[in-house]
Amino acid sequence: MNDLVEVRAGVYHDSVSLMRVSQALAALPGVSVAIVAMATELNVGLARDAGFAVPATTPGDLLVAIRASSDDAVREAAAELDRRLAAREAAGTARGEDRPPRTTRSAARAAARGAAGSGGATVALVSVPGEYAFLEAADAVEAGLCVMIFSDNVPVEQEILLKDRAREKGVLVMGPDCGTAVIGGAGLGFANVLRPGPVGVVAASGTGAQQVTSLLDLAGVGVSHLLGVGGRDLSAEVGGRSAIQALRALDADPATELILLVSKPPAPEAADAVRDLGLGTKLVTALLGPGQDDLTAAVEKVLGALGREVPAWPSWPAPPGAPGTPGSECRGPLRGLYSGGTLCTEAAVIAGSGEFTDFGDDAYTRGRAHPMIDPALRLEALDAVESGVVLLDVVLGHGADPDPSARLAPAVARACGRGVAVVVALVGTEGDPQGLHAQAARLNEAGAAVFTSNAAAARHARDLVAARVHS
């Protein structure tokens, strides 16, 4: 094997972009390992654990570590890396960023002056390793900007400090670990293509927000704004600090006729705090947990409140002869292999039994891309299942894998060939760049039953297991 290790001093790119570059390089012929990341202690440690000889670095350096089967493969990977980084720099120059600001606050000042015709900025997006997110987010808050913190692994104490200071400054902190927001039609992070409309969404959940807004879109109902607040916001520690601000902001928004609040299972005191705000705008809640509405049921309540018909949510039954269909064998337990934490929680509550793993949890994303970008861990887990029923989510939209079925469908076919029944919750809209129906068709042809409602997918998987038990 041949290794290439480079440290490029003072070269910065955001973590999501670098994860995508690493993924592209790792897919090249002959390349077995590709790490392109900022040289934080964690990333340097990962490279050294992989056997690379990494010299002294600083967190402001770009670390490149490539292992391939030949010198030619290493050279091709290095050339592809340079092409991709140059393309990003060229895109920045085209936007007038030939001398990008060095700090968040200086970027805010430049935007306030109308740099590059921006006319002033109101939101900053922070996507850096978690240990550095607090300083960047604090800089944005002090500059008078709302901030979306895409970064995870941020201590809860820092989250509370940021949200308290934001309230004092009259701005909103979305996050940490906020994967999704749509503000005035502009998507941030992982975002589906949504039509504009009367429903405002506040979400202590990323994929939960994508599920409800995708279902609304499939029903012909649009969204005014989707304000993510981070998965911990309705915890006992954080107490709904950002959710309360976001609800009040949407209550004051003339374009919002109804508000939908989505959360992973909240702390009771936080749930009470947001329910008791006395909003003038009708509020529908989807606060997951035993005895509570699932996400699809909450969307159907929204449609009823708006006087809209509830459609038959699109689904594609498994093809004849696939595991789980009449006359086929399907024996074994239920396993949930999820990329979205809220979808995983919802499915586990509905199923009532089985083993569920959220591959988007911080424990799995430290030092690697989110599974909506890089499905490698989930594919390994799927390939290891020998029997029973597998339930998994596939989430479309900007920021996600541009063609998730390209890698997932072959793994689904292999699983079905072993007698495993595969059920997919496909979250997306007709306008998403991956193509909702194209993705559904490919997964269905591979042998999976496909549902646009995660709740319906979970019930189908549960029923398959129950039918096996009683047969």
Looking at the fold, whether 464 and 327 belong to one and the same domain comes out as yes
The span from the CA of 265 to the CA of 125, in Å, is 26
End-of-domain residue from the set 305, 335, 352:
305
Strands (E), 81-213: 123-126, 146-149, 173-174, 180-183, 186-189, 196-204
Identify whether 240 is part of a domain: yes
Identify whether 310 is part of a domain: no
Q: Which residues contact 352 (CB under 8 A, 6 or more apart)?
A: 462
Looking at the fold, whether 376 and 273 belong to one and the same domain comes out as no
- Give the residue-averaged pLDDT of 263-283: 93
Segment 83-119, tens digit of pLDDT: 999 887 776 555 555 556 667 777 777 766 654 444 5
Identify whether 450 is part of a domain: yes
Looking at the fold, whether 352 and 423 belong to one and the same domain comes out as yes
Identify whether 326 is part of a domain: yes
The span from the CA of 175 to the CA of 148, in Å, is 6
State the total domains in the chain.
3
- Which whole-number Å values give the CA distances from 300 to 211, 225, 258, 415, 452, in the listed order? 12, 19, 13, 34, 14
Looking at the fold, whether 324 and 413 belong to one and the same domain comes out as yes
> How far, rounded to the nearest angstrom, does the alpha carbon of residue 124 sit from its chain's CA centroid?
18
| Per-residue pLDDT, 152 | 84
The region of weakest confidence among 34-43, 335-344, 357-366 is 357-366
Looking at the fold, whether 154 and 130 belong to one and the same domain comes out as yes
Task: Please check the confidence at residue 46 and state whether its pLDDT lies above 50.
Answer: yes
Looking at the fold, whether 192 and 226 belong to one and the same domain comes out as yes
| Per-residue pLDDT, 93 | 55
Type of residue found at 282: K
Q: Which domain holds residue 33?
A: 2-94
Identify whether 380 is part of a domain: yes
CATH number at residue 54: 3.30.70
Could you tell me the pLDDT band of residue 56, with boundaries at 50, 70 and 90?
Answer: very high
- Give the residue-averaged pLDDT of 21-33: 89
The span from the CA of 339 to the CA of 150, in Å, is 16
Identify whether 263 is part of a domain: yes
The region of weakest confidence among 242-246, 285-289, 317-321, 326-330 is 326-330
- Summary mean pLDDT of the chain: 90
| Per-residue pLDDT, 45 | 86
pTM: 0.85
Looking at the fold, whether 22 and 82 belong to one and the same domain comes out as yes
Closest CA relative to residue 147, chosen from 263, 69, 26, 229: 229
CATH number at residue 197: 3.40.50.261
Looking at the fold, whether 151 and 295 belong to one and the same domain comes out as yes
End-of-domain residue from the set 305, 337, 356:
305
Looking at the fold, whether 292 and 329 belong to one and the same domain comes out as no
- Which whole-number Å values give the CA distances from 121 to 83, 105, 113, 143, in the listed order? 30, 11, 10, 10
Looking at the fold, whether 329 and 232 belong to one and the same domain comes out as no
- Give the residue-averaged pLDDT of 392-416: 95
The span from the CA of 101 to the CA of 99, in Å, is 7
Identify whether 257 is part of a domain: yes
Identify whether 287 is part of a domain: yes
- Give the residue-averaged pLDDT of 338-365: 91
Looking at the fold, whether 225 and 123 belong to one and the same domain comes out as yes
The region of weakest confidence among 18-27, 107-116, 331-340, 392-401 is 107-116
The backbone torsions φ and ψ at residue 48, rounded to the nearest 5 degrees and listed phi first, read: -65, -35
Segment 418-467, tens digit of pLDDT: 999 999 999 999 999 999 999 999 999 999 999 999 999 999 999 999 87
End-of-domain residue from the set 283, 305, 327:
305
- Which whole-number Å values give the CA distances from 394 to 182, 209, 241, 343, 454, in the listed order? 20, 14, 30, 10, 10
Looking at the fold, whether 182 and 295 belong to one and the same domain comes out as yes
What residue has token string 């109902």? 221
